[in-house]
Chain A
């Protein structure tokens, strides 16, 4: 009897003891987790705020007219007060490479996704999935290096111009965003319920008719998401593009002409310009444009995911 009550007592003590310790542990855990969440929020806000303040400096401190900055093609920074800072050629270059590379990569990427999910669901995916993972793994500088040493000489030999060109940038970017578009589209296609396919086949439709008339409309918002995310990657890619596009400050007159993008001009000139000079500040404004456009891409993706039907 005595031993039992003693055991009861120790058990009780232990229970009380552990529960006290656990309460403290619980609180400590909650604090650690909350701090991490707070740091993530802080990081995002500080990126936005710092880049916004620094990016607006060109307009506030140097008196650059925002409209001129966005629309003028005259980029002529000088050290005296008369520099002309029109970023339109770079904005145009960025938009051009983004749209053109999406135009090339989207059909191939979505086609690859359809191959993996509809044409050869078993072995097709087993073969192409690692291929896509490896393509994702190749770093952008390596893409740039290959573009520089294979693509640029090829274009120089077979087409007008000096090789460094808009089209070289577009091709490099298409390859780089291909895995993004393919993997998101594949996930979307694979998540379509089978009864859509079965219903269509039961009505006597061929595979192509099923894909085109039933599956594609159902999965369209997700496919757009894939394309937009691919475009976001193309828009923000810096080094690979910078290595092949030629980096001149003029609007291109053809796809074989040299041009520049926002990212390539930032990459190239950030190190050479004096911190705080008007030209340097203009580069920060371009960084702000990059930031804002990547926000716009996210908004579009959010809008699309709200519209997802299946």
Chain B
């Protein structure tokens, strides 16, 4: 009887813990949305931010976040996918492979502030670029590579071996097989992983604090020449992102509506990341349906 009672009590405790999880998430989300949604308006999204006055928006920060995300992906995806192919297809068990795995583990577990410090040292000071988008994107690359490598490796390993064997049996070379058979089948997994990683890049702030800076120069949204000084596309300008903006207004903000701006920006950030997650699921499902339908 005693052990049965203990069992019931333990079950109760575990159910309680599950409830803690659910109420925690509900509380966090409802707080962000309740505080943030009333602030979000078309003006809030399209106005430039203001340092001292009330009513500043997040236009530049939002653009910068997406632009840095784009630049980071352009650098990270090829590198990460190639690294994943190496580990899944080329790496032979041995010292070098072990070392690469250790390197990836180390990169994955680096605190993002340390990555930011490295970026400050190398991409800001040593190269003489100052705070720049390209420096920030390279710093983000550092801690996003392990994610992309792992995603690619998993996706490739989940491709059925007989597909690869069939291709090799037809006399195709290894690289050709990878290019035309393995990568297309692994594509849905890689894409889903990339979108999820994008959410992480989008919300990152600590690594960007010292690499893209806390300010954005005056931007001219009619000038899309990437080499022009005031162009939004200029890679060598400082660019405060949305996540950095939330930190900066909370820490040093002197405008009267600090909390409103922070709440609105947080809501935009969280909603964007939510969107990334939903997109990843949706895209994954669609592609999977297409692939399985083709097999019929």
Chain B contact residues, CB within 8 Å of chain A: 3-4, 6-7, 9-11, 13-15, 17-18, 20-22, 24-25, 28-29, 31-32, 35, 78-79, 82-83, 85-86, 90, 99-100, 102-107, 109-115, 117-118, 120-122, 125, 142, 145, 149, 172-176, 178-179, 199-200, 202-206, 209-210, 214, 243-244, 246-247, 250-251, 259, 262-263, 266, 269-270, 273-274, 276-277
- Interface residue tally on A, bucketed by range: 35 or more
Choose from A33, A116, A232 the contact partner of B85 (Cβ within 8 Å): A33
Contact A137-B113, Cβ < 8 Å, known A39-B79, A208-B7, A239-B206: no
- Beyond known contacts A29-B175, A40-B145, A242-B251: 6 more, CB 8 A cutoff: A40-B79, A40-B149, A111-B13, A208-B7, A270-B209, A294-B106
Chain B residue numbers with a CB within 8 Å of A178 are 21, 24
Interface string of A273-299 (1 = CB under 8 A from B): 001000000001001001100110110
- Is A271 an interface position by the 8 A CB rule? yes
Provide the bound-state CA to CA distance between A225 and B269, in Å. 31
Give 13 CB contacts A-B under 8 Å: A32-B82, A34-B86, A40-B79, A40-B145, A50-B122, A134-B29, A137-B273, A139-B270, A145-B266, A207-B11, A270-B117, A290-B114, A294-B109
Chain B residue numbers with a CB within 8 Å of A263 are 111, 113, 206
Chain A residue numbers with a CB within 8 Å of B3 are 206, 208-209
Choose from B78, B107, B111, B202 the contact partner of A237 (Cβ within 8 Å): B111
Contact A127-B22, Cβ < 8 Å, known A41-B99, A139-B243, A287-B114: yes
Provide the bound-state CA to CA distance between A212 and B9, in Å. 13
- Verify A141–B203 contact, CB threshold 8 A: yes
Provide the bound-state CA to CA distance between A182 and B3, in Å. 27
Chain B residue numbers with a CB within 8 Å of A119 are 11, 14-15, 18
Central interface residue in A33, A140, A207, by most chain B CB within 10 Å: A33
Chain A residue numbers with a CB within 8 Å of B175 are 22, 25-26, 28-30
Provide the bound-state CA to CA distance between A263 and B246, in Å. 18
Provide the bound-state CA to CA distance between A236 and B200, in Å. 16
Central interface residue in A35, A54, A145, by most chain B CB within 10 Å: A145
Interface of A is mostly: helix
Q: Interface stretch among A58-66, A83-91, A146-154?
A: A146-154
- Is A70 an interface position by the 8 A CB rule? no
Choose from A35, A124, A138 the contact partner of B28 (Cβ within 8 Å): A138
Chain B residue numbers with a CB within 8 Å of A146 are 28, 31-32, 266
Chain A residue numbers with a CB within 8 Å of B11 are 119, 207-208
Choose from B25, B105, B209, B262 the contact partner of A131 (Cβ within 8 Å): B25
Chain B residue numbers with a CB within 8 Å of A270 are 117, 120, 209-210
- Is A203 an interface position by the 8 A CB rule? no
- Verify A235–B111 contact, CB threshold 8 A: yes
- Verify A238–B266 contact, CB threshold 8 A: no
- Verify B176–A22 contact, CB threshold 8 A: yes
- Verify B199–A44 contact, CB threshold 8 A: no
Provide the bound-state CA to CA distance between A206 and B35, in Å. 46
- Verify B83–A44 contact, CB threshold 8 A: no
Contact A36-B112, Cβ < 8 Å, known A139-B205, A207-B7: no
Chain A residue numbers with a CB within 8 Å of B118 are 46-47, 50-51
- Verify A266–B113 contact, CB threshold 8 A: yes
| Min distance, Cβ B20 to any Cβ of chain A, angstroms | 6
- Is A133 an interface position by the 8 A CB rule? yes
- Verify B273–A138 contact, CB threshold 8 A: yes
